[in-house]
Amino acid sequence: MTNRHGLLLASAALLLTPAFAEPVVKKEIRVENGKNVEYMWIDGIKVHETDPEKQPQPEVVTPPAYDPAAAKPPEGATVLFDGTQASMEKNWESVKKDAKPWNLVDGAMESVKRAGYIRTKDEFGSCRLYLEFATPSTVKGEGQGRGNSGVFLMGRYEVQILDSYENTTYPDGQCGAIYGRAVPKVNASRPPGEWQSYDITFHRPIFDDEGNVTRRARFTVIHNGVKIHDDVELWGGTGWRGPHSISEYEAHGDTGPISLQDHGNPVRFRNIWIQPIED
């Protein structure tokens, strides 16, 4: 179904955690190869569950054709990358000290294996973030090893980037997932090598003086013109804590950088802009 703005609207059936409904979380420590390994279940579903009987794969849909007009920044937005070396050097820095720089290829920033993450020099809180990405046109690997990257709001809340075109992985880690926390409503991925877009509206979490979260983060994500998350409330962090666990909230400041991940695959980025949102 298409709304008056031309966005495809999908069923919410495959959300891992419905917005504003407190999930039931269970944790268990298992000893594996002499080490304690944490397992986590959210509403009865194991984090990074691969069994489709327990966590179904999102329905595959064909997204609308690429719309170059959508990449145009609105009035008041800050352009974080415009395809030039000057823009890259002005707005971005490596997270690792003395890291190899990312490449500039045909007007796009391209991640470099073992170079580590890059992040914006400026910091942001609640915002609307637009970016375009392309996974490698030459397909290598499978599952999480294929076209893997990610965009992190405030440097810590990840929307996964992955080549999820005819490539199966755990649904809470496929392209468009809020990593480990929310499964996209549908799989709206384009083929490898084609440009894709995220239009993300993010409301930051708020913490009290004791470090308790008093307002949880919320995400709306539009992937290639398809709304895959609709004001989803985040009940914890998105940091890796093992094959079947995910981080909890940790108190932090009101702003943080936008980070892009190097996960060993040469993923490209272009047309990145951001617009702050008042809390």
52 occurs within a structural domain: yes
What confidence score (pLDDT) does residue 21 get? 75
Question: What whole-number distance in Å separates Cα of residue 58 and Cα of residue 60?
Answer: 6
CATH number for position 130: 2.60.120.560
Q: Quick one: which of 86, 78, 84 has its CA closest to 123?
A: 78
In a domain, 85, yes or no: yes
Q: Is residue 38 situated within a structural domain?
A: yes
Q: Is residue 1 part of a domain?
A: no
pLDDT at 69: 93
**Residue 29 lies inside a defined structural domain of this protein:** yes
Total structural domains within the chain: 1
- pLDDT in the model for residue 20: 61
Which token pair is 74?
Answer: 């609105």
Structure tokens at 123: 């910091």
Residue 90 falls inside a structural domain = yes
In b/e form, how buried is each residue of 133-148, taking b as 16+ CB within 10 angstroms?
Answer: bbbbeebeeebbebbb
Q: Per-residue confidence of the chain (279 residues) as pLDDT tens digits?
A: 444 344 544 443 344 444 467 899 999 999 999 999 999 999 999 999 999 999 999 999 999 999 999 999 999 999 999 999 999 999 999 998 888 999 999 999 999 998 999 999 999 999 999 999 999 999 999 999 999 999 999 999 999 999 999 999 999 999 999 999 999 999 999 999 999 999 999 999 999 999 999 999 999 999 999 999 999 999 999 999 999 999 999 999 999 999 999 988 999 999 999 999 998
Distances (CA, A) of 103 to 93, 94, 108, 192: 13, 12, 8, 19
The answer to whether residue 73 sits within a structural domain is: yes
What is the domain range of residue 180? 8-276
Strand 149-153 vs strand 127-134: parallel, antiparallel, or unpaired?
unpaired
Across the strands, what pairs with 53?
none
> Residue 198 contacts by C-beta under 8 Å, 6 or more apart in sequence?
129, 130, 131, 132, 133, 151, 159, 176, 221, 222, 223
Q: Is residue 2 included in any domain, yes or no? A: no
Angstrom distance (rounded) from CA 91 to CA 226: 29
